[in-house]
Amino acid sequence: MDKIKFQAGSEYPKELDSNDRLGRFRQRFYIPKGVIYMCGNSLGLASKDAEETLLIAMEKWREEGIKIWNVDDSKYFLYSRYLAKLMAPLIGVDEDEIAVTGSTTTTIHQTISTFYKPTKDRYKILVDDLNFPTDRYAVDSQVRLKGLEPKDAVKVIKSLDGKFLDEDRIIEALTDDVAIVLLPTVLYRSAQVLDMKKVSDAAKERNIIVGWDLCHAIGSVEMDLKSLDIDFAMWCTYKYLNAGPGATAALYINRKHFKTLPGMTGWYGNKPETQFLLRQEFEHQQDGSGWQIGSPTVLSMAPMEGALKMFHEAGMANVRQKSLNLTAYLMFLIEDKLTSFGFSIGNLREDSRRGGHVCLEHDEAYRISMALKSRGVVPDFRDPNVIRLAPIALYTSFAEVYDMVDILVDIMEKKVYEGFSAKRNFVV
């Protein structure tokens, strides 16, 4: 599906769906009945494919007990490598540069602790104030572990408008005292895609180690990390990759760093050949898998196997193109039908500058999102005024996008949101 000029009307989305080359994937997902799911940027939906590979892992455990580690050429013992092979093409790296391990937060600890070697003159880590806070918590604690104060050693680029970051200002902040820069590829609220190449090139020119958090990018936008020649990256797999709640995360280590000792070592980072000799000396496996710490969390990894295979079948370029078409269509409908109710679009419009969700803003965003839920739409509210809406290439139809906007119109016309309290739940 190429870029399209959209039309109004309720027949039109059906036409888009019937011309959609990825439409056939929808039936392989479990779409909750009567629900329009727009929250796949927070937690992707379950698929039959993911369920199947999970059940196979269960069966191996049930049938084999401890022998699960040896079946199928030690597939589960080497599961990080197995999954890395499926993941590598999505970001354009070699499969041996990836470890599937831990959570995003622990992979930030692992990578920062590997590369952070502060000296008197070069000791700062550059971050931004729009990134998801856990990244900052991890960076702050890594700085403290070196006996430094985050106030001094963590340099924060402040967004001027609370929504977007300006690459030129980031580059200005790459001063001689900066050791590492860690930034998100896609901002989780505004969906801005940062120019990875521009920032990475500037960092490398200044001998600054550069790492990217791909959480909101992987499975949504195409990336070619090899051509960027960055140092490290990390990402979760439960958002656009649909690998399940709390599914195991992953990290990337540029092969030029394979000989560097991981900041946090554990027995699964040991060479597999000598791991079970259980010697007291750590023998580093010098590739991405050497950045694992403990045992592979097989049951949190198994759904990923089925989920990733779907991306291969679909093709990442097709996934990105459809995602752009879905969000463009949504923005078209918002402008056509919703701006008169006080809504505005809080993301950038250009294809190269926006990720996989649309950021709908309204002063009553919280109560409107509650009203949406009561009507079977699952949105994703972010304080104070943002409703994130993520139509997902593999399972959202254009008709659903159309229907959701119609529901929003109805909610606004009848002021349905006024019937909801503005008091927040724990998980909003």
**C-beta of 104 vs 325, nearer to ligand PLP:** 104
Only one of the segments 16-24, 130-138, 372-380, 385-393 lies at the binding site for ligand PLP (rule: CB under 6 A); that segment is: 130-138
Q: Rounded distance, CA 256 to CA 234, Å?
A: 17
Q: Rounded distance, CA 42 to CA 159, Å?
A: 23
Contacts 24+ apart (CB under 8 A), 84-90: 84/250, 84/288, 84/289, 86/304, 86/305, 86/308, 86/309, 86/311, 86/312, 87/250, 87/308, 89/312, 89/316, 90/218, 90/219, 90/223, 90/308, 90/311, 90/316
184 binds ligand PLP per the rule CB under 6 A: yes
**C-beta of 105 vs 286, nearer to ligand PLP:** 105
CB atoms inside a 10 Å sphere around CB 293? 18
Which 3 state secondary structure label does DSSP give 362? coil
61 binds ligand PLP per the rule CB under 6 A: no
187 binds ligand PLP per the rule CB under 6 A: no
**C-beta of 184 vs 262, nearer to ligand PLP:** 184
| Shortest reach from residue 156's CB to ligand PLP, in Å | 15
Ranges of beta strands (E only) in 195-349 are 209-213, 232-235, 250-253, 344-345
Among candidates 220, 359, 298, 362, which has minimal Cα distance to 371?
362
Which 3 state secondary structure label does DSSP give 141? helix
Only one of the segments 6-14, 193-201, 208-216, 324-332 lies at the binding site for ligand PLP (rule: CB under 6 A); that segment is: 208-216
**C-beta of 80 vs 131, nearer to ligand PLP:** 131
| Shortest reach from residue 105's CB to ligand PLP, in Å | 3
Binding mask 243-282 for ligand PLP (x = CB under 6 A): ------x---------------------------------
140 binds ligand PLP per the rule CB under 6 A: no
Binding to ligand PLP (CB under 6 A) within 88-107 occurs at 103-105
Q: Rounded distance, CA 378 to CA 254, Å?
A: 38
192 binds ligand PLP per the rule CB under 6 A: no
Only one of the segments 131-139, 252-260, 316-324, 331-339 lies at the binding site for ligand PLP (rule: CB under 6 A); that segment is: 131-139
| Shortest reach from residue 385's CB to ligand PLP, in Å | 19
188 binds ligand PLP per the rule CB under 6 A: yes
Contact residues toward ligand PLP (CB under 6 A) are: 103-105, 131-132, 134-135, 184, 188, 213, 215-216, 236, 249
